Amino acid sequence: MYSVELKVGEKNLRIEHGRVARQSAGEVLISYGDTVILVCANYNPEVDNTVDFLPLTVEYRELAFAAGKIPGGFIKREMRPSDNEILSSRLIDRPLRPLFPPDFRNEVQIIAYLLSCDVEHDADILGITGAATALLISEIPFTTPVAGVRVGLLDGKYIINPTLSQQENCKINLVVAATKNAVVMIEGGAKEASEEEVIQGIKVAQNECLRIIEMEEKIREAVGKEKLEINEPFVSEELANEIKEKVGNDINQIFLFREKKARQEAAYELIRSITEKFTDRGIEGIEAKVRYVIEKMIAQRMRKMILEEKKRFDGRGTKDIRNVSCEIGVLPRTHGSALFTRGQTQSLAVTTLGTKSDEQRIDAIYGEESKSFMLHYNFPPFATGEVKPIRGPSRREIGHGALAERAILPVLPSEENFPYTIRVVSNILESNGSSSMASVCSASLALMDAGVPIKTAVAGISIGLVKEGDRYELLTDIIGDEDHYGDMDFKVAGTKNGITALQLDLKIQGIDIEILRQALDYAREARENILKIMSSTIDSPRTSLSKYAPKIVAFSIPKEKIGDVIGPGGKVIRRIIGDSDLKIDITDDGKVTIAGSDAELVKKAKGEILNIVQEVEVGKSYIGKVTRITNFGAFVEILPGKEGLLHISKLSRRRVRRVEDVVKPGDEVIVKVYEIDDMGRINLIRVGEDWYNR
């Protein structure tokens, strides 16, 4: 058994090998505070020669016992992964993938089990470091150490691995993965932070990653295994040269088309014609090999065109944004809708407003929580003109939705100011690059169309990169081919005031801070231009909600009065609701939310509840209803459930022989509370008689 330990942030980070799961190619137990993760890396020794990519899968799982819980629901065991587990799996995968050798095609599986959870520290960042270490000490030819940390900006200071409670108050909350020389991956959000604040946070995180990498290298030096030999190339050099020779200048035909579909058809036709020339050779998987070589040729030609000629596939300059158009109110019966189109990428966003009962309840390992804002991203196959089966949301759809949701969150109104549950759905109708950032723009427009009082509009853009040695070119608003053949997809979303979300993915082994700084400047300039276009469509939220949206009021009542409002067996609250469509939610702390389609009924219900919880005040007058008569006076209900005695001597300035001569049950009378005795009994006097007012 071998272990290394280092203080990172406020806790000790410990990596241990050789204690458990020893039949794995590489395994480590990694702990931070009382949070412990087991990470195992394994591979298939047999190579699938029909596959021209690295079949890497990462599975992160949170086991309920880690937090002392038993899974909820009918089946008391862990089942399909939660959204958080999927997002964490993606977070671990992304910094590892570009660091594998390009010709390594063995299937690799990384499994990370959360075994102990202290409910204060995130486990996902441990997964990055743990997976990298497990790969480094295994036979798998992964040789570049990479580490991940979370950095927060709290009260003007950068802190490493902030706790969950600290993260809520951080202006910046980023996960950064870095190697010795460069940044490999960034994921996070911010509350309208400046570009310089983000850059400084990345620097702090990168320096901390260097310290953790030293730990990884120590454990590799002590227990690392001999690495596998790299596979033969997917296409032999001899065959690749032969294919290139047959293609010749025909590759240039693809670059005559600026429109995506036409370019794809030209590429497919070229692949088909070249494949036919090899059909009599009996080469296994020749079509895939031809496609592989031609795609490499397209990439090489595109990259040369960008670096040397400053030209792009669609004729734009490196900083040009595609044509943008915005429409709102496109669907008549929805609460808010918007259509955002940027080139051949199009998002239809729809906002739906709901009540407290519509919140998403999440039984997370860190504790139960509820979400009053959800942004869901759908990517149907017709968006790219393809035919595929439609199943549940993919990992990509969940990831893109989470990114867009994070971008919008900082501008949402507080629950006190806007007591609605909000769901935004972004449906991608066309896609040619950066559909997640189009979703940010369409969601912002749909929220304003729905009358949600967001602080300001949000827009997003994706910045690409082509880099050869020291030469590089940044690309604003990348299309699909530039993402596919380029080196970077850097998504940045924000407002006119600053950044709200960002996500960096690379195909190369990292980039330096100065390129990141320049990319953020490009993103700010593009974002400001898009925001101007959006503001010409709608520059502020509508002042009224859709007539089809529920009418909601929220207020608070004393906790000790909750029982009075509900009544025995729910009698009182059922009476208030009556035959209407009202929904009344009361939380344990006394927060009341009333929702319904009729604003007058909502207002009336609020008044009834306030009357129920209202305290009787001495000296205050009330309009009450006579409930019963006795020989010594009348009992009058002045508030719901609150009765007082109107004594016969207080009925009139004249002598009253019989109470029935003055009032009868059901009569409304104006009374004033003149006394509440030691036993809490309310004594009333009639108001309006000459003898009282003289």
638, 622 in Cβ contact below 8 A?
Answer: yes
Residues 6+ apart with CB under 8 A from 360: 370, 371, 374
For the CA atoms of 177, 164, 554, 446, the dihedral, rounded to the nearest 10 degrees, stands at 0
Of 116, 168, 118, 140, which Cα lies nearest the Cα of 40? 140
| Burial of 79: CB neighbours in 10 Å, binned 0-12, 13-18, 19+ | exposed
How is residue 75 written in tokens? 């089946």
Write out 281-340 in H/E/C secondary structure: HCCCCHHHHHHHHHHHHHHHHHHHHHHHHCCCCCCCCCCCCCCEEEEECCCCCCCEEEEE
- Whether 122 has a binding-site annotation, put simply, is no
For the CA atoms of 574, 576, 580, 586, the dihedral, rounded to the nearest 10 degrees, stands at -70
Write out 335-403 in H/E/C secondary structure: CEEEEEEECCEEEEEEEEEECHHHCEEEEECCEEEEECEEEEEECCHHHHCCCCCCCCCCHHHHHHHHH
For the CA atoms of 377, 383, 384, 385, the dihedral, rounded to the nearest 10 degrees, stands at 150
How is residue 226 written in tokens? 């001999």
d(CA 229, CA 562): 71
CA terminus-to-terminus distance, the chain: 97
| Cα separation values, 54 from 103, 332, 488, 679, Å | 8, 47, 18, 81
593, 605 in Cβ contact below 8 A?
Answer: no
| Cα separation values, 134 from 95, 426, 430, Å | 14, 38, 40
- Whether 483 has a binding-site annotation, put simply, is yes
d(CA 577, CA 606): 11
Which residue, chain included where needed, has tokens 């944004």?
321
d(CA 59, CA 41): 11
The angle subtended at Cα 438 by Cα 437 and Cα 442, nearest 5°, is 120
Q: Read off the amino acid at residue 455.
A: K
d(CA 418, CA 355): 11
d(CA 642, CA 488): 70
The angle subtended at Cα 258 by Cα 255 and Cα 261, nearest 5°, is 100
Burial 485-516 (b: 16+ CB within 10 A, else e): bbbbbbbbbbbeebbbbbbbbbbeebbeeebb
Binding-site residue ranges for Mg(2+): 483, 489
Binding-site residue ranges: 483, 489
